[in-house]
Structure 1
Amino acid sequence: MAEITPPEPPLVINRWPLMLGVIVALGVLFYVLQPILLPFVLGAVIAYLGDPLVDALERRKVSRTVGVVLVFLLFSSIVFLLLLLAIPMLLQQLDAMVSKIPAIYRWITTEALPWIQARFSVEEAGLPRVDWSAQLADNWQSLGRLTANTFKQITGSGASLLLGIANMALVPVVAFYLMRDWDAIMSRMLMIFPRAWQDRVNHMVGEADEVVGAFIRGQLIVMCALGVIYSAGLWMVGVQLALLLGVIAGLASIVPYLGFAVGIVASLIAAWAQSGDWLMLLSVAVVFGVGQLIESMVLTPILVGDRIGLHPVAVIFALMAGGQLAGFVGVLVALPVAAVIMVFARHAVAYYRASELYGAD
């Protein structure tokens, strides 16, 4: 009678060290490969923004591929209109802003600084006199030489030019395939985790998706809406740089209250340099006050709510840390990563407070 060989016991692997090792390895890989990750990160962001729209079309019996094509057409139309309408106006106003620099500097040196010194008994110290006609001419010439040299280097290296074109061409390709297969990719990634963790991980990923979606989609709409509100309001009160100042304030609104602070200071300086009229300054303050009320009472509660949970200081730190570690790619992924870390950290703190270590005498 043949001897029956007992089955081998299953391989025992300690889960926590393995998962921590995987996370560290992914972080190192991201840092090493960040020079080539830009098209993939941009494609992932576009796919993430478009996935809810594709899901909504899919629920209306539209095939996934057709839904992706329709969403791509929508996004492409928006980008085309922005490039066609906004870019020329922004360049025109940027040129006008550069021409106003001498007047703003003259106002600071002759009026603002002496007033501060007299008001607060500050020791007198004048700013250096600057020949702005020569300075601006030199800087524009330097900028022109730098642009020409950069373009010469890029075009002189066929490989660099082809690589840049390929990177930009990869963005819609990556976005298309990620958007088409987003749900399947998320499901397969969940299956990688140990079975005992999958329900809990699925729950936490759902929370993280809610937080990230609330911030990326909601805050993006808030930023665009504030840019339109500030630009339209400043244009109505007669500020010449209305579009440029509104766009700056809208973009700065990625950090709560930063857009309001940056926008109102820059707009007050521009309005004073333009007319020196106190009534226009009051009108600018009213524009930003109304914009702030609309943001705090309508836009943020409806579009973002209180789900993001990131303190403004944490937002600033995440953006700066991402830029320091991985440049522009790091800035793109900083806030989503910070939001996900916040969700998992909240669960870790809850487990710790429920543990014997926290509750023991």
Structure 2
Amino acid sequence: MNLTPNQLRAASWGAIALVSWLLLSLLAPVLMPFLLAAVLAYALHPLVERLHAWRCPRWLGAGVAIFMLLLVLAAVVLLIVPVITKQVPLLKEQLPLLLERLNDTLIPLAARFGVDVQVDVGQFRVWLRELVAGHESDLLGGLMSSLRIGGSALAAVFGNLVLTPIVAYYLLLDWSNMVERVKGLIPPRWRAKVQSFLDETDEVLGQYLRGQLLVMAVLAVFYTVGLALVGLKLALPIGVFTGLAVFVPYLGFGLGLVMGLLAAVLQFQALLGVALVGAVYIIGQTIESMYVTPRLLGERIGLHPIAVIFALMAFGQLFGFVGVLIALPASAVLLVAIRRAKASYLASELYLESPGISAQKKDEAA
């Protein structure tokens, strides 16, 4: 069977797409650190270019950019680790006392309704003591078994943590040349349209990154001030961590909420203080979901607030936690494609003229 040139081109592109999909599927675990490094290089490339414009060698500018990123990540870790290391031992000591206070409140309240309810604090003390000091050998054996079973996965995680910044550094050194080489693979007749699409996408993604930084700053200030107003002593580290961790939707809020409630339980030892901290987080999450993210982020990338909420839910449903992470930047890229498809449709004969009218005009012209 002889194929027309158009059919041959379509078959060739279909074969290329199929082979690319198979390669991506087979090499997905290996490609993850490289894809993450490419994302980091894309985000840090403007900083490197600015430093290079100030006569800073490119190798030094790339090193400074990677170092600043690692410094920010280290600062986030240093914010959360001291809070956890200080609060967990206090929790072990004070939790039985808190349960006794709960009994003092719960027993009279339940007695009014003829119900005998109380927490067995003595049994809880025994369980806590056994958990902490009674099964060291069992815990050690379980830990070693887990390390043996998941050793390869653990090694892969730490390997990626080391490999990703190294790959990102080398990508930053040669980013402009690599982009030009990739563009050279695009057929000449498509280069103008592809370049226009890439320029618009780059602008939208830049707006997304700036908007995300603004959202993080606003929420860090909100949580820090809110927790300080309710009297929480650890308001600064917990508030700043929650605001910065909002970059990971829901996970940042969840970790901040757990840390805030834990600190409130140990400091206030009263239901009112814990409730006030919980109220700060509920209000913060509501403001973020309904106003801050849609307004400060959605408007910057041209997405309607409802579209932002839908994108988070849809990508989360399709791709899980990773989908939530990529929802807004992926939506920004899709937005550019949809705008161009809409413009092409509005300029097409399908929209401007019906088939009958078009045929009639051709007959009249003839």
TM over 0.5: yes
SS of residue in 1 equivalent to 2:27: helix
Question: CA distance change for structure 1 residues 317 and 287 in 2, over 3 Å: closer, same or farther?
Answer: closer
1:339 corresponds in structure 2 to 332
Residue identity opposite 2:32 in structure 1: L
Asked if 1:46 is matched to 2:40, the reply is: yes
Question: CA distance change for structure 1 residues 318 and 293 in 2, over 3 Å: closer, same or farther?
Answer: closer
CA RMSD in angstroms, aligned pairs only: 5.0
Alignment of 1:9-24 (within 5 A): 18-19=12-13, 21-24=15-18
Q: 1:63 aligns with which of 52, 57, 64?
A: 57
TM-score, with normalisation over the residues of structure 2? Answer: 0.66
1:153 corresponds in structure 2 to 149
Asked if 1:313 is matched to 2:310, the reply is: yes
Identity in percent: 29
Alignment check: 8 A CA contact 2:37 2:165 kept: yes
Unpaired segments of 5 or more residues in structure 1?
1-10, 115-126
Q: Distance in 2 between matches of 1:143 and 1:335?
A: 42
Alignment check: 8 A CA contact 1:49 1:217 kept: no
Asked if 1:351 is matched to 2:348, the reply is: no
Asked if 1:178 is matched to 2:171, the reply is: yes
Asked if 1:231 is matched to 2:224, the reply is: yes
Greater RCO structure (CA 8 Å; 6+ sep): 1
Question: CA distance change for structure 1 residues 76 and 268 in 2, over 3 Å: closer, same or farther?
Answer: closer
Q: Distance in 2 between matches of 1:81 and 1:192?
A: 41
Alignment check: 8 A CA contact 2:215 2:292 kept: no
Question: CA distance change for structure 1 residues 209 and 143 in 2, over 3 Å: closer, same or farther?
Answer: farther
- Report how far residue 50 of structure 1 moved: 1.0
Q: Distance in 2 between matches of 1:298 and 1:12?
A: 49
Task: Tell me which moved more, 164-173 or 244-253.
Answer: 244-253
Question: CA distance change for structure 1 residues 22 and 163 in 2, over 3 Å: closer, same or farther?
Answer: same
Q: Distance in 2 between matches of 1:231 and 1:213?
A: 27
Q: Distance in 1 between matches of 2:19 and 2:106?
A: 58
- Report how far residue 26 of structure 1 moved: 3.4
Q: Distance in 2 between matches of 1:153 and 1:265?
A: 29
Q: Distance in 2 between matches of 1:188 and 1:194?
A: 12
Q: Distance in 2 between matches of 1:137 and 1:360?
A: 81
Alignment check: 8 A CA contact 1:226 1:295 kept: no
Q: Distance in 2 between matches of 1:147 and 1:248?
A: 30
Highest Rg: 1 or 2?
2
TM-score, with normalisation over the residues of structure 1? Answer: 0.67
Unpaired segments of 5 or more residues in structure 2?
111-116, 355-366
- Report how far residue 60 of structure 1 moved: 1.9
Question: CA distance change for structure 1 residues 234 and 96 in 2, over 3 Å: closer, same or farther?
Answer: farther
SS of residue in 2 equivalent to 1:306: coil
Alignment of 1:93-172 (within 5 A): 93=87, 147-154=143-150, 163-172=156-165
Residue identity opposite 1:315 in structure 2: L
Residue identity opposite 1:149 in structure 2: S
Q: 1:205 aligns with which of 192, 198, 210?
A: 198
- Report how far residue 29 of structure 1 moved: 3.1
Residue identity opposite 1:348 in structure 2: A
Question: CA distance change for structure 1 residues 262 and 91 in 2, over 3 Å: closer, same or farther?
Answer: closer
Asked if 1:32 is matched to 2:26, the reply is: yes
Question: CA distance change for structure 1 residues 16 and 347 in 2, over 3 Å: closer, same or farther?
Answer: farther
